[in-house]
């Protein structure tokens, strides 16, 4: 009896809440409890800022990569068996090439829209890596990696590396001259690894280079293994974004305890959903106008030809450039074995660089000892040492990256190859220090100016003459909302080295205090209430 009433009641509510949609929603909810999810997430707030779009570009271009990539798998054949090309592209007719290359040519020249999808896939991949890189820079320079987001920084960085691996494996699939040459370089690098290199290369290529196995193997990595890991880490990354709630920039009304922005339904969904289509559309537009990776100009892989000015895709450039910057003769024979430091040195340096980037959040957390959660982003100037370290890192990366185009730089600017390499070697070593120093000074100067403006207002451009005959420029005071943006940050003081409970000073403490001094000894504190009231900064 009671069940009957209950079901009647629920039926009537469903009817009341309107026709088909209501019924469908009721049907779904009774089977999935989805109303709970809508209640929980439907009005979740996302703050708005252009720099938050970089991560979205990465996410959306990945979706485009998945869609276009799936289309390509229906036509691409990852086989290195040799055939005589018999497709529409006349200059290569009758040329012997692998099926991988031939099927890529068929996608480009014999399937309507195939070239478009192929080019969209490649452009989207370039955009994917680029946007992850920029997103990481945004996160770094605003301190968004601080507690509780340190692990998400690590996950994001792994995604960056996976994206590059996806890019490289994809680049190698068509089996054209450039991709084969890229693999040749990888083979050479692997062989330079002590102890295991020769065998790793032998196993990877299924025998001697180039063999007939590598394209098929890379294909498995490219469409199965790497994407699976990537999707997993991406999902984790997004789950953490939900768990932590998004960071926000400082602003009036915003605190560490709230998130201010637009709710998912409807505004954020419309904006982000719309933005997905914009990213997708822009990629389509680029792909319809600009050729990328015209393998038909390069021809099938042959170990013999290579032309001057060949370039890897830009995101691999830093590694290629690192190889170029090694001075001659960094290889020697010891214990009857070859030690190729011309290969090991770049590998080790890049390895250290990667590890430092990966663990930076933990280093900074250890130095500051700050155990609070941080949800308000720093303005880069308000963390001068961090910003300077970031600038140094970017310079280091840029030197390696530029080196990958050393030959183009030399011919374009009519310089000698040697001169360009030597300049870039100097930039690799000295550049980071210069960048560090300049950035830090600029940050401090900007902070001083902020403080000045907060205390005395901004220059209005209006000159008045005082009764005494003196000319001054009138300073307009800021309103409290503008001022809040300038004063709402925290500064850190260096730790003072003190003996611990046993009266000892440990080396760890010594190191921490030294690092802390390095980080925070130049410090500009935000203007306080008292200073504002008295209208000057007390000096």
Partner 1 sequence: MAHDDNSGAELAAAASSDHGPENNVSTGTAVVANDAVENPGFPPHRQRVTDLNPKKERTAERTVYTLFYLSIIGSVWAIAAYMLFPIEPENLLSVRLNNLFIGVGVALALLGIGIGAVHWAKALMADHETIDERHPVRGTDETRARAVEIFETANEESGFGRRTLIRNSLLGALVAFPLPAVVLFRGLAPEGQDPVALLNETAWEAGTRLARDPSGVPIKASDVTLGSAFHVIPEGLSEMDHMLEEKAKAIVLLMRLKPEDLNEREDRKGWSYDGIVAYSKVCTHVGCPVALYEQQTHHLLCPCHQSQFDVTNHCAVIFGPAARPLPQLPIAVDDEGYLIAQSDFQEAVGPSFWERH
Q: Among the candidate windows 13-21, 227-235, 260-268, 468-476, which touches partner 1 by CB under 8 A? A: 260-268
Question: To 5 degrees, how large is the angle CA 13–CA 16–CA 21?
Answer: 95
Joined together, the tokens standing for residue 86 give 């018999």
| Backbone φ and ψ of 476, nearest 5° | -85, 130
Q: Does 211 bind partner 1 (CB under 8 A)?
A: yes
Q: Does 501 bind partner 1 (CB under 8 A)?
A: no
Q: Does 49 bind partner 1 (CB under 8 A)?
A: no
Of the residues 333, 463, 466, 501, which one makes contact with partner 1 according to CB under 8 A: 333
Q: Does 470 bind partner 1 (CB under 8 A)?
A: no
| Backbone φ and ψ of 249, nearest 5° | -80, 155
Binding-residue total with partner 1 (CB under 8 A): 141
Residue 172 C-alpha from the chain's centroid: 22
Query: Which is nearer to partner 1, 29 or 407 (by Cβ)?
Result: 407
Query: Which is nearer to partner 1, 310 or 460 (by Cβ)?
Result: 310
Q: Among the candidate windows 130-138, 249-257, 381-389, 445-453, which touches partner 1 by CB under 8 A? A: 249-257
Residue 101 C-alpha from the chain's centroid: 31
Q: Among the candidate windows 152-160, 198-206, 439-447, 462-470, which touches partner 1 by CB under 8 A? A: 198-206
- Asked if residues 234 and 62 have their Cβ atoms less than 8 Å apart, the reply is yes
Tell the smallest beta-carbon distance from residue 515 to partner 1 (Å).
11
Q: Does 532 bind partner 1 (CB under 8 A)?
A: yes
79 C-beta neighbours (distance < 10 Å), count: 17
Q: Taking CB under 8 A as the criterion, which residues in 97-126 touch partner 1?
A: 108-113, 115-116, 119
All residues at 6 or more sequence positions from 321 whose CB lies less than 8 Å from its CB, including other chains: 399, 400, 401, 402, 403, 404, 405, 406, 424
All residues at 6 or more sequence positions from 333 whose CB lies less than 8 Å from its CB, including other chains: 339
Query: Which is nearer to partner 1, 208 or 502 (by Cβ)?
Result: 208
Q: Does 273 bind partner 1 (CB under 8 A)?
A: yes
Cα separation of 51 and 512, whole Å?
33
Q: Taking CB under 8 A as the criterion, which residues in 365-404 touch partner 1?
A: 367-375
Q: Does 534 bind partner 1 (CB under 8 A)?
A: no
Tell the smallest beta-carbon distance from residue 451 to partner 1 (Å).
12
Of the residues 304, 468, 470, 502, which one makes contact with partner 1 according to CB under 8 A: 304
Q: Does 510 bind partner 1 (CB under 8 A)?
A: no
Query: Which is nearer to partner 1, 29 or 482 (by Cβ)?
Result: 482
All residues at 6 or more sequence positions from 88 whose CB lies less than 8 Å from its CB, including other chains: 109, 110
All residues at 6 or more sequence positions from 424 whose CB lies less than 8 Å from its CB, including other chains: 321, 325, 399, 402, 403, 406
Of the residues 41, 277, 437, 518, which one makes contact with partner 1 according to CB under 8 A: 277
């Amino acid at each position: 009896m009671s069940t009957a009433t209950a079901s009647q009641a629920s039926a009537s509510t469903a009817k009341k809440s309107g026709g088909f949609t209501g019924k469908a929603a009721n049907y779904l909810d009774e089977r999935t409890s989805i109303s709970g999810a809508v209640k929980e997430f439907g009005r979740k707030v996302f703050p708005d800022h252009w720099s938050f779009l970089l991560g979205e570009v990465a996410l959306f271009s990945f979706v485009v990569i998945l869609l276009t990539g799936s289309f390509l798998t229906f036509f691409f054949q990852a086989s290195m068996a040799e055939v005589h090309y018999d497709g529409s592209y006349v200059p290569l007719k009758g040329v012997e090439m692998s099926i991988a290359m031939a099927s890529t040519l068929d996608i480009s020249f014999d399937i309507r829209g195939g070239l478009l999808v192929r080019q969209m896939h490649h452009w989207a991949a370039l955009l994917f890596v680029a946007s992850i890189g920029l997103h990481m820079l945004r996160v770094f320079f605003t301190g968004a990696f601080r507690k509780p987001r340190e692990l998400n920084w690590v996950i994001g960085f792994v995604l960056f590396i996976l994206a590059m691996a996806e890019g490289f494996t994809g680049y190698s699939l068509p089996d054209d001259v450039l991709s084969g040459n890229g693999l040749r370089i990888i083979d050479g690098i692997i062989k330079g690894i002590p102890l295991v290199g020769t065998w790793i290369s032998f196993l990877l290529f299924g025998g001697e280079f180039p063999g007939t196995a590598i394209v098929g193997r890379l294909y498995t990595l490219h469409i199965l293994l790497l994407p699976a890991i990537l999707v997993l880490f991406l999902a984790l990354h997004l789950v953490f974004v939900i768990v932590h709630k998004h960071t926000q920039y400082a602003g009036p009304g915003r605190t560490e305890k709230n998130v201010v922005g637009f709710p998912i339904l409807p505004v954020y969904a419309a904006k982000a959903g719309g933005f997905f289509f914009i990213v997708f559309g822009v990629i389509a537009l680029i792909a319809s106008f600009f050729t990328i990776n015209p393998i038909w100009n390069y021809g099938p892989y042959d170990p013999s030809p290579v032309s001057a000015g060949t370039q890897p895709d830009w995101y691999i450039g830093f590694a290629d450039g690192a190889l170029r910057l090694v001075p001659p003769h960094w290889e020697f024979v010891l214990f009857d074995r070859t030690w190729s430091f011309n290969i090991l040195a770049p590998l080790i340096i890049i390895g250290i660089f990667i590890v430092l980037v990966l663990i930076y959040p933990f280093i900074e957390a250890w130095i500051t000892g700050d155990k609070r959660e941080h949800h308000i982003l720093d303005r880069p100037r308000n963390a001068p040492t961090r910003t300077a370290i970031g600038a140094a890192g970017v310079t280091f990366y840029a030197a390696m990256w530029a080196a990958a185009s050393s030959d183009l730089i030399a011919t374009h600017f009519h310089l000698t190859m040697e001169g360009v390499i030597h300049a870039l070697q100097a930039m690799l070593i000295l550049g980071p220090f210069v960048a560090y120093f300049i950035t830090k000074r600029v940050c401090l100067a900007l902070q001083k100016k902020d403080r000045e403006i907060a205390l005395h207002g901004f220059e209005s451009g209006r000159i008045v003459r005082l009764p005494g005959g003196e000319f001054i420029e009138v300073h307009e005071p800021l309103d409290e909302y503008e001022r809040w943006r300038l004063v709402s940050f925290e500064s850190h003081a260096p730790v003072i080295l003190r003996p611990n409970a046993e009266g000892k000073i440990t080396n760890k403490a010594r190191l921490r205090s030294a690092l802390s001094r390095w980080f925070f000894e130049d410090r500009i504190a935000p203007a306080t209430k008292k200073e504002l009231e008295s209208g000057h900064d007390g000096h």
